[in-house]
Structure 1
Amino acid sequence: MTDADFEYLRGYLKQKSGLALTAEKRYLIESRLLPVCRRFGIATLSDLVGALRLARAGGLDKAVIEAMTTNETFFFRDRAPFDLFRDVLLPQALAARAGVRRLRIWCAAASTGQEPYSLAMLLNEAAPQLAGWRIELIATDLSTEVLEKAKLGLYNQFEVQRGLPVQLMLKYFEQVGEQWRLRPALCQMVDYRPLNLLDRFDHLGTFDIVYCRNVLIYFDAPTKADVLARIAAQLAPDGAVLLGAAETVIGITDALSPDPKHRGLYRHGQARAVAPAPAPALAPAPSLPRFAMR
């Protein structure tokens, strides 16, 4: 791959997916795109660049983007964002949305589904308090390939053991040969849709809670600012955004501000800040059970 080819691919990936690659990541392009070349019968990366320049049909552009997308995820990843959902955000929603009995949640960059399914399990565990509520859990990703896997709800032994408490695995999964299948009722709780965060997403509507974790780290500062501002525009006045542990809005945008009480939680900037409703005075224990996360 020539320097010119590398620069073209860097620009192409930035434009199409927001992925910002430094010169040190040249090896990543080579390791991930050479298999794409073999799949499409293309001899070299230079020939692949030529095909992209000509906008050759046949799904090559999609294959290139999906090959470069990182899909690292697992159930209850980092634990804290899910404890926060169970202990703070869901109780606040029960109080603040009691009149409309509706809750809308968006998992952006959902990959193979472990994040939205983790939330679905917590929602199911709180079912007695949510009886009669309309819950919308929308999960999006750039890659249609990972979304298809997510819809199947089928995971191998390593995937279900990684982060998933044993009691939840036994409750919500059934073993199928050497794999584990999520029970259909839980799969049906998640609405999967293909979406590129660089594109408009105002058609998704307003959300009460947004999980956009571990994707902004791949974007440059202007792209991060743009995506965060547009997420804020789709956020309810008292809504919440959760980012990854290595991500922040500080120095990037004023559209969102860190919640002073909870790390990784962000709300509207000062101009639109609305204090969240206090959590309802529920009886202790049974409504939102704690799990021994691994």
Structure 2
Amino acid sequence: MTEADYQFLSSFLRARSGMVLNSDGHYLARSRLPAVCRRFGLVDPAEVIAILRNGSHPEIEAAVVEAMVIQETFFFRDKTLFAQIHETVLPRLVEARASSRRLRIWSAAASTGQEAYSIAMMLAGMAPRLEGWTVDIVATDLSEVALERGRKGLYTHFEVQRGLPIQMLLKHFTQLGDLWQINADLTAMVDFSRINLLDDFSDLGTFDLILCRNVLMYLDDRTKRDVLERAVARLANDGKLILGGVETPLGLTEGIVADAALKGIYGRAGCR
């Protein structure tokens, strides 16, 4: 791939997904674009870039974005954070929603669904308290391939070993050969939808808890600010927003403030 092709690819990805290629960008392109070539019978990545320049093949354009965007996720990623969600955040929200008996949670950039299902498993453990409630878990991503895997709820042995406690595996999954199928009661709790965070997502409504983790880190500051401010607009007045461990809203928006007692968890400015 020529430097001109690489620069075009960088601009294309930024426009379509907000992703900014870092120092590993050349390696990422070399390692991931060949799969696009094999899928569409193309000769090499240079031919892929030529098609992107032409702008006449939406399916290939979508495939390039899906191939290049980082899809790193696993169950209960960051045990300390999920302990806070389980022990403090969810119980407080359930108490605060006792009158409406409805809870809405959004897992943004959900990839193949492990984060959303981690929340679903926690809520399943609170079933007696949530009897008669309406609980919505919305999982969104720009990759339809990743979303379809999430909808199926089928994971490899390697994937269920990453962060998933053995008792959770035995309780909520059924082994099917070399794969593990998450039980139907949990797949029924999660609604997977394709959403590009660069686009308008106001139709999703308002949420009590938003997880937008480890996605802002791949965006430029202008895009970070835009996505973050629009996500905050979807947050209930007393709701909570959770970012990735290395992500911060400082310098991007004054609409949210860190929770004094909960690391990595934010609430609307001026609201308790």
- TM value normalised by structure 1: 0.89
Report the alpha carbon displacement of residue 58 of structure 1 after superposing the two structures with TM. 5.7
Report if aligned partners of 1:213, 1:242 keep a CA contact under 8 Å in 2. yes
Provide the residue aligned with 2:54 in structure 1.
54
Change (3 A) 1:218 1:58: closer
In structure 2, what residue type is equivalent to 1:274?
C
Matched, 1:274 2:271: yes
Q: Percent identity?
A: 48
CA deviations 1:180-222 (Å, max 9, x no partner) are: 1111111111000011000000000000100011111111111
Matched, 1:124 2:124: yes
Report the alpha carbon displacement of residue 24 of structure 1 after superposing the two structures with TM. 4.9
Provide the residue aligned with 1:146 in structure 2.
146
Report if aligned partners of 1:120, 1:189 keep a CA contact under 8 Å in 2. yes
Matched, 1:187 2:187: yes
The alignment's C-alpha RMSD in Å is 1.3
In structure 2, what residue type is equivalent to 1:119?
I
Within 1, Cα distance between the matches of 2:114 and 2:183? 14
Report if aligned partners of 1:81, 1:242 keep a CA contact under 8 Å in 2. no
Matched, 1:258 2:258: yes
Report the alpha carbon displacement of residue 23 of structure 1 after superposing the two structures with TM. 5.2
Unpaired runs of 5+ in structure 1?
A: 276-294
Greater RCO between the two (CA within 8 Å, min separation 6)? 1
Provide the residue aligned with 1:9 in structure 2.
9
- TM value normalised by structure 2: 0.96
Matched, 1:178 2:199: no
3-state DSSP of counterpart to 1:193:
strand
Within 1, Cα distance between the matches of 2:49 and 2:94? 52
Q: How many residues align?
A: 272
Report if aligned partners of 1:139, 1:192 keep a CA contact under 8 Å in 2. yes
Report the alpha carbon displacement of residue 179 of structure 1 after superposing the two structures with TM. 1.4
CA deviations 1:137-175 (Å, max 9, x no partner) are: 000011000111111111111111211111111111111
Report if aligned partners of 1:76, 1:82 keep a CA contact under 8 Å in 2. yes
Query: Equivalent residues in 2 for 1:229-240 (5 A)?
Result: 229-240=229-240
Unpaired runs of 5+ in structure 2?
A: none
Within 1, Cα distance between the matches of 2:3 and 2:71? 27
Provide the residue aligned with 1:135 in structure 2.
135
Within 1, Cα distance between the matches of 2:208 and 2:106? 8
Out of 186-195 and 52-61, give the one that drifted further: 52-61
Instruction: Say which one has the larger Rg.
Output: 1
